[in-house]
Amino acid sequence: MPIQREYGKEHPYWPLGPFKVRLPFIHYRWEFPEMIQALLMFVVSLGMIPLLQQYLGLPYEAALAGVVICGIGFMLPALLGVPLVPGWITPAIPVVLLYLQNFQPGPEAVKAMVALQIEVFLIFLILGITGLGNKLVTLIPNSLKCGIIIGAGIAAMMGELKAGGRVSNAPVSILIGAMIAAYILFSLSFKSVVLRNRLAKIISNFGMVPGIVIAMLIGWAIKEFPLPNIEWGITKPNFGLLFDHLAFNIGWPTWDMFLLAAPTAVIAYVIAFGDILVGFTLVKRADHQRPDEVIETNVTRVHLVTAIRNGMHAIFAPWPGLAGPLWTPIQATTAERYALGRKAMDSIYSGQGTFWISGFLALFVLPLVTMFKPVLPLALSLTLILTAYICIMVGMEELKDSAERGVAGIVAVTLAMPDPKATIYAIAVGLVLYFLIERQNAAERQRDDLSIITDDTAAIEAGSERGKANPDAAPR
């Protein structure tokens, strides 16, 4: 029987420095809906295997071992007191792949990935300890931030649609799966159906799963993907083979690699910080409907846990997806079920903890892994297409005026260029255009605002004088 939480209090934990340790069955109960969802959604984490093979040159068995290490990292936030369902820094994947194109798949690409991951680790660690994360993101012009997010979305979509890409190899199953997933996740008409129909509400709780399942069935039916050769037993990730491809054996990155990785690391952090804000917003929205539990949203702890995860990857499993603070669709569905009350979900930590523990255990279920193996490109493609939609939508929403939209558009197009140095060019172009165009507009807006305030003040004073001269005319 888990330790019971007092009404209106924070969920029980064991203190450990800056962390708050919570364990299943000791501090929280097992949530079966999240377990079922994880047994299907873990296939998305397997979707990184094709990228590990293509860009880092890892064999399948070594890449699977890397997925297991990633799964350990996924369990850390719930364990250490972060109320967010973790994932990759998914919008940054196209930018990371552009960076990796500078290097030959194999030892050189692995070293380059290690350099990038070390820098991401250091950024999260330093900004988390010092609390400077907010200030750094504030200093970056809004047009540059939004342009990066939109450009990442465009690059993700172009990567899927290009000749020889995943969509061209399996257009029917991927596009139908993407449309179904987008309809369930984003459609206003489906949300209205959810309010009236119990089955639709159940489907909505599974996020991307229905789209992936239907796309898999279509892909197998029309032979866009080979039928799986299902094997029974327990998977055997080859950690020894993975170790042969790590920096311990192939050597550590050069200083040139660290310099080339720096712009990509900064972009990844900016995107990840946005994910933190989105995650906390989802948590607070659900928290208002659950007075029985107080949820602590600690920015420093999120930074530290994310730093630990990126440090793990840099040493033991270089990861093109990077370690991000949030998997938005799963956080949204978890928060939605949490908001239904304590009977539906005991604690926010029980939901997210159960999800990734179940996802980690699923990695060792050989029938599941072998069933999904032929459709791993499908899972990755759907993830990137939906990420592209979210990036473009969010980036466009945050732009305030025509000057910002123009600068952001140029940054986005530059970033999406099929050039390994596109990241550096995009940042440079964005900063130059900001100082040439937006700074002047900002000064004009400031003068206009000051003029309006001055005019309003004069009008108020004039009205006041008229009121003194003629009391009957004064406003009542």
**Model pLDDT for residues 181-194, shown as the tens digit of each residue:** 888 888 888 888 88
Closest CA to 270 of 89, 77, 83: 89
Q: Does the pLDDT at position 418 exceed 50?
A: yes
Q: Which of the listed ranges 29-33, 277-281, 390-394, 417-421 does the model predict with the highest average pLDDT?
A: 29-33
323 — pLDDT class (breaks 50, 70, 90): very high
How many Å apart are CA 115 and CA 121, to the nearest integer?
10
Domain ranges in the chain are 14-164+233-374
Q: 470 pLDDT exceeds 80?
A: no
Average pLDDT over residues 220-228: 92
pLDDT of residue 468: 45
* Best CA proximity match to 355, nearest among 86, 13, 82: 86
| CA distance linking residue 365 with residue 367, whole number of Å | 6
Q: What does the H/E/C string look like for 283-295? A: HHHHHCCCCCEEC
Bridge partners (DSSP) of residue 10 are 294
Structure tokens at 26: 């000791």
Which pLDDT belongs to residue 71?
96
310 is written with which tokens?
A: 């990126």
* CA dist list (Å): 435 to 277, 339, 403: 27, 45, 11
Return mean pLDDT, the chain: 86
Pick 201 or 402 by higher pLDDT.
402
281 vs 473: which has the higher pLDDT: 281
DSSP code of residue 144? H
Q: Are the CB atoms for 275 and 89 separated by under 8 Å?
A: yes
Looking at residue 162, what DSSP letter applies? S
pLDDT of residue 476: 33
Angle at 62 between CA 56 and CA 65, to 5 degrees: 115
Long-range contact list for 47-51, CB < 8 A, 24+ apart?
47/376, 47/377, 47/379, 47/380, 47/383, 48/88, 48/319, 48/320, 48/321, 48/380, 49/376, 50/376, 50/377, 50/380, 51/93, 51/97, 51/320, 51/321, 51/380
What residues contact residue 192 under an 8 Å CB cut-off, 6+ apart?
none
Task: Please tell me the pTM assigned to this model.
Answer: 0.81
Both tokens assigned to 445: 């807006």
pLDDT at 254 over 70: yes
pLDDT exceeds cutoff 60 at 214: yes
SS3 245: coil
Query: Cα separation of 176 and 172, whole Å?
Result: 6
Predicted confidence at residue 440, as pLDDT, reads: 61
- Confidence band, pLDDT 50/70/90 cuts, at residue 26: very high
| Residue 353: band (very low, low, confident or very high) from pLDDT cuts 50, 70, 90 | very high
pLDDT score of 450 more than 80: no
Distance from C-alpha of 65 to C-alpha of 245, rounded to nearest angstrom = 12
- Percent above pLDDT 90 for the chain: 46
Q: Evaluate whether 320 touches 91 at the Cβ level (below 8 Å).
A: no
How far, rounded to the nearest angstrom, does the alpha carbon of residue 243 sit from its chain's CA centroid? 27
In this prediction, residues 243-254 reach a mean pLDDT of 93
pLDDT bucket at 365, cuts 50 / 70 / 90: very high
pLDDT band at 462 (very low <50, low <70, confident <90, very high): low
Lowest-confidence pick of 92-96, 229-233, 315-319: 92-96
When pLDDT is averaged across residues 338-363 and rounded to a whole number, the result is 92
pLDDT digits (tens, 9 = 90+) for 279-297: 887 888 888 888 999 999 8
- Listing DSSP states for 88-125 in one string gives --GGGHHHHHHHHTTS-TTHHHHHHHHHHHHHHHHHHH
Q: How confident is the model at residue 451 (pLDDT cuts 50, 70, 90)?
A: low
Highest mean pLDDT among 86-90, 313-317, 371-375, 423-427: 313-317
Per-residue confidence (pLDDT) for residue 460, from 0 to 100: 45
Question: What stretch of H or E contains 198?
Answer: helix 198-204
Entry field: residues in the chain: 476
- Whether 207 has a pLDDT exceeding 90, the answer reads no
Angstrom CA distances, 191 to 182, 194, 197, 286, 393, stand at 12, 5, 10, 17, 18
Output the CA angle 206-207-209, nearest 5 degrees. 70
pLDDT surpassing 60 at residue 467: no
- pLDDT score recorded for residue 319: 94
Residue 45, token pair as written in the block: 């984490």
